[in-house]
Amino acid sequence: MPPNSNSASKPLHVAGQCRLDVGDSTFLGEQRIALLEQIAARGSITQAAKALKMSYKAAWDTVDAINNLAPSPLVETAAGGRGGGGTRLTDEGRRLITAYRTIAAEYQRFLDGINAAMGDPGASLALLRRLARRTSARNQLIGRIVAVNARTVDAEVLIETQGGQRITAGVTNESVEQLSLRPGRSVWALVKAVAVGITREPPPPTPGTNCLCGEVQRITRGEGSAEIVVALSAGVTLCGVIAADVLEGLAITEHDPACAVFSTAAVIVGVDD
């Protein structure tokens, strides 16, 4: 079947979007920048979400992801502001919006130059596209290795996150070698929300268990389960998913103290190439 004459006559056009990554995770793109801009303009995550036609939960999850990846928080929420106010950008947040818009404008000019140079219908261009790696892990933290304690068949890797918390990951000795895990190296720590338990008080220290404590930021109830986000220091959060009856037994509400508890084996360590 002959090619469609209309599509065949259309010139090749190079398109793309500007995105700032931290390692292999998307940090800031157009949608996240738009959310930050709306928060700055409206002073409320609720109103920002409505303006962008996002759900309240999706907006909060996005803010959590941004703050967890940033060297310092980009969004701050004053006490009592969850219902519709008291949310603002930090100086770093405003600075990054300005930087992103400047970079995006330069990137667009770059694309315009390429497309202008491709005006010759005989020109050809090999387009290479970077494949963004994605993960289902709800909790994605960045940090630096403090120590690696090797044992017979495995090792414990002590990681200090950007918020100053320390967590331990259990990995094989083969992974230590293949990933060149060593003190001082920047790494990713990924933990699925279903692997994170929530307690009101810190449990007794137990080998092979991580415990990070803070304040309940929000609770989202579903059918038979509940998602609890615990705010730690420096804007870092951890999310746990527990059974609804367990939540009722905890008698825990937003702004109450709480701890996120998870096994060292539940921590997946990643590195930048």
The CATH number covering residue 117 comes to 1.10.10.10
Same domain, 264 and 158: yes
Low-confidence ranges of the chain (pLDDT < 70): 1-12, 23-24, 78-85, 109-110, 113-136, 273
Residue 232: which residues within 8 A CB-CB, separation 6 or more?
163, 165, 212, 213, 214, 238
Q: What is the pLDDT of residue 168?
A: 97
User: Total domain count for the chain?
Assistant: 2
Alpha-carbon distances of 201 from 204, 212, 229, 258, rounded to whole Å? 9, 10, 15, 6
pLDDT of the residue at 135:
59
154 and 252 assigned to the same domain: yes
> Do both 266 and 172 map to the same domain?
yes
Query: Quick check: is 2 in a domain?
Result: no
Of 134, 157, 184, the residue at which a domain comes to its end is 134
Give residue 184's domain range.
Answer: 139-270
pLDDT of residue 84: 45
Q: Identify the domain boundary among 103, 134, 165.
A: 134
Rounded to whole angstroms, the Cα distance separating 165 from 143 reads 9
Same domain, 123 and 93: yes
Are 130 and 152 contained in the same domain?
Answer: no
Domain boundary residue, one of 75, 106, 134: 134
Same domain? 109 vs 90: yes
Coil, helix or strand at residue 270? strand
Per-residue confidence (pLDDT) for residue 28, from 0 to 100? 84
